[in-house]
Structure 1
């Protein structure tokens, strides 16, 4: 069953699962997309914030979007990287619905606002983002 706009309510929370961050993935992503020394050189290696965001997006796509009538996203707000992410860190993702509203331009859809968060093993946030998504309404 696909979730439609009507299936989401303010306060609904979705656990997205976990990802273990590897040194190899940090360096591979940095070489391809964010070749700054902190993301490439041995020592106190940290993941690019864009890499952290991409890992979150993968969990969000698998955990929510794949099972819903999602259309497109009109954007994000307040993307924050709050703590460095290092090799070996295990991150857990979650999203919470913070707003629901009808679409002003697409009567067949509504807009969801969700707060996304990645936390480390100590439940300390490493990334937060406000997500907006266009979600199809139930037919009929």
Structure 2
């Protein structure tokens, strides 16, 4: 994968792929206990009686995993990922034992007319080990322009 240093190095259609994150039942329960304490995220027996028919990661846990994978992928080089909005979709439950990865593509690039930066619109999809899409998000991010631009 090419390391990107500036907004000016990006192109529509560029694709990125992350490494992998493995999910465990203790991970699911730990996150849920602190941030989303619902039965389907905390207890196998209670979860079996829910819509999910078993222990499932919180959607916000899934989003947090996606963010970690995105940061590790470094699509904008050393620059931080500064979000200014976007959309999310939870497509399938994330379960203990899943191995997740992200695939992303740049959909549009808009240079600022007044600031030394640009806005990048991407589509990211997270897949499990079976190739099933479990989560999608479309962040809009700010990336600095090359200083000499």
TM-score normalised over the length of structure 1: 0.91
Structure 1 unaligned segments of length 5 or more: list them.
none
Partner in structure 2 of residue 135 of structure 1 = 143
Partner in structure 1 of residue 42 of structure 2 = 40
Partner in structure 2 of residue 93 of structure 1 = 102
Structure 2 unaligned segments of length 5 or more: list them.
46-53
Partner in structure 1 of residue 33 of structure 2 = 31
Q: Secondary structure at the match of 1:138?
A: coil
Count of aligned pairs between the two proteins:
138
- The answer as to whether partners of 1:70 and 1:133 remain within 8 angstroms in 2 is no
Larger radius of gyration: 2
CA distance in 1, matches of 2:33, 2:78: 33
Structure 1 residue 112 and structure 2 residue 120: aligned?
A: yes
- The answer as to whether partners of 1:83 and 1:125 remain within 8 angstroms in 2 is yes
2:112 maps to which of 103, 106, 126: 103
CA distance in 2, matches of 1:51, 1:74: 20
RMSD across aligned positions (CA): 1.6
1:73 maps to which of 73, 83, 99: 83
Deviations 1:54-84 (A, max 9, x none): 001001011125724346211122x100001
Identify which range, 64-73 or 6-15, moves more after superposition.
64-73
